[in-house]
Amino acid sequence: MTQWQGQLIKIDDYRWKIPDNYKTGMRVPGLIYASKEMLESIREEQTPEQVANVAFLPGIVDYSLAMPDIHWGYGFPIGGVAATNIKDGVVSPGGVGYDINCGVRLLRTSLSEADVRPRISQLIDALFHNVPSGLGSEGKMKISQKEMNQLMVEGARWAVKRGLGCEEDLDVTEGGGCFAGADPSKVSDKAIKRGMPQAGTLGSGNHFLEIQVVKKIFDSHTASIMGITDIGQILVLIHTGSRGFGHQICTDHLRIMEQAVSKYGIKLPDRQLACAPVESEEGQGYLAAMACAANYAWVNRQCIAHWVKESFSGIFGRSPEELGMRQIYDVAHNIAKIEEHTIDGRTLKVCVHRKGATRAFPAGHKDTPKRYKEIGQPVLVPGDMGRCSFVAVGTQKAMSETFGSTCHGAGRVLSRGAAKRGFRGADIIRELQSRGIIVRAGSVPALAEEVSQAYKDVTEVIDVVHQAGISRKVAMAVPMAVIKG
């Protein structure tokens, strides 16, 4: 593929603008957060073209934004953020993605590396056994249709009511682990049939469960409020979403949106951007179904976190409370939300699409949990399995510049095929093991797709959002053991 040849106007070291006259039909300019060094791979991938395409969406306000972990997606780039005015704007399922409410949950423990290292094999085997993973994996919970209807509406609370976790978990989950407005009647039978057996499973692809060791603390006061106090402390990171349920909902509603595009006379440069006015029947229908999938994903991470705690408890012979196991936070990074933002001095209700982007609300914001009111909402940024992950917090600058959004991870640089041609799963397991990282994988060949070299270095990504001021980095942790689906 040839490099993208369009104009990127430098605003400062971390902001690059695509002027709105780049393409006829753009309603706003594009804005990419990246370092100069990142621009080459961004141009190589043609992703600025996708940022420009998103700027065609009716009702889009301010900018079509891209975070530094931007990479090529369908329609929307991954790492894309777009806010549309709910009065005259659209909602686009492609701006959320197939894996609705794909997200991450981080747990802290009072254990140290020295406590865990001698038992790491047993621990990872217990986790591999207790948390169903892999392609087509089915959960150990048997959910009836009636229960499915309840969990679609209740979200994480549904699991807590069944003894899977505690009330405190909900306080430190984005939106309390429940997306309001969920309507199971907008969800197809097919989606329900896909979703019922998969609740409480990790899945496959880039989803994982990681035991991590804290390596750096950049801001000890902020970290301590999250319960991150020591170098060498053990954390657990869970990355999964709404499985086949979310995929089917996205597929079903894209079909509806395809028709809506011609019904409402919307002109788009890419069919995968299919959308409908937020306030139309189609738009409301999608948002109600999307909420069901978001709630399903929160149930999923809620259950998995509970089984993680049980597994630790079984291996160390102490209760999760005695082990200091507590949820730090849970964020969605594929979602569309109706939020209030101030644009050019005016407060507007907008539909913020975050596709591979994380909400990053500042200290004092009404939706920042009570525990974090003083420091800002935690932002969880996983890296690849061979490098590291970051914990950051949201800032006021994110509120004024990016609709309270920031990056979500490392972002791919190599295609899955290229990764497979260059690396073998078995070699990766050996190489990681030599560095003290144990891997368990549902499919060893597929593991090659997730090799470190297939991803951007997450450190560069976090440095951009930190320097640009749209989040503030707090701590860094490295993997000790990884389960890949």
Partner 1 sequence: MKKAFELTNHTADMGIIAYGADMKELLSNAALALFSLITEPGSIEERSHVNLKVRSDEKDSLLVEWLNELLYLFDTKHILFSRFDIRNLTHNELKATCYGETFDPMKHKIKTGAKAATYHMLKLDRNNDGYKAQVILDI
| Contacting residues toward partner 1, per CB under 8 A | 45, 71-75, 78, 94, 98, 134-136, 190, 193-194, 197-198, 204-205, 244, 247-248, 250-251, 254-255, 258-259, 270-272, 274, 412-418, 442-443, 445-446, 449
CB of 309 to partner 1, least distance (A): 28
- Concerning whether 408 is annotated as a catalytic residue, the answer is yes
Smallest distance, partner 1 to C-beta of residue 306, A: 25
Question: CA-CA distance, 40 to 21, in Å (whole number)?
Answer: 22
- Residue with smaller CB distance to partner 1, 194 or 306: 194
Contact 55, 20 (CB under 8 A): yes
Phi and psi dihedrals of 202, rounded to 5?
Answer: -80, -35
Closer residue to partner 1, CB minimum distance, 125 or 270: 270
Say if CB 193 and CB 145 are below 8 A apart: no
Please, which residue, 9 or 135, has the CB nearer to partner 1?
Answer: 135
Q: What are phi and psi of 237, to 5 degrees?
A: -115, 130
Residue 75 vs 165, nearer CB to partner 1? 75
- CB-nearer residue toward partner 1: 212 or 242: 242
Shortest Cβ 260–partner 1 spacing (Å): 12
Distance CA 222, CA 228 (A): 9
Closest distance to partner 1 from the beta carbon of 32 (Å): 16
User: By C-beta, is 249 or 348 nearer to partner 1?
Assistant: 249
Shortest Å, Cβ 343 to partner 1: 29
Spot the catalytic one: 207, 306, 365, 408.
Answer: 408
Nearer to partner 1, 8 or 78 (CB): 78
Q: Count Cβ neighbours within 10 Å for each residue of 390-429 and write b for 16 or more, e otherwise.
A: bbbbbbbbbbebbbbbbbbbbbbbbeeeebbeebebeebb
State the Cα–Cα distance between residues 118 and 122, nearest whole angstrom: 9
In contact, 227 and 323? CB cutoff 8 Å: no
Structure tokens, 84? 């549309």
What's the min distance (Å) between Cβ of 355 and partner 1?
Answer: 11
CB of 193 to partner 1, least distance (A): 5
Q: Which of 300, 283, 294, 319 is nearest to 152 (CA)?
A: 294
Question: To which residue do tokens 């980095």 refer?
Answer: 473
Q: Which residues are designated catalytic? A: 408
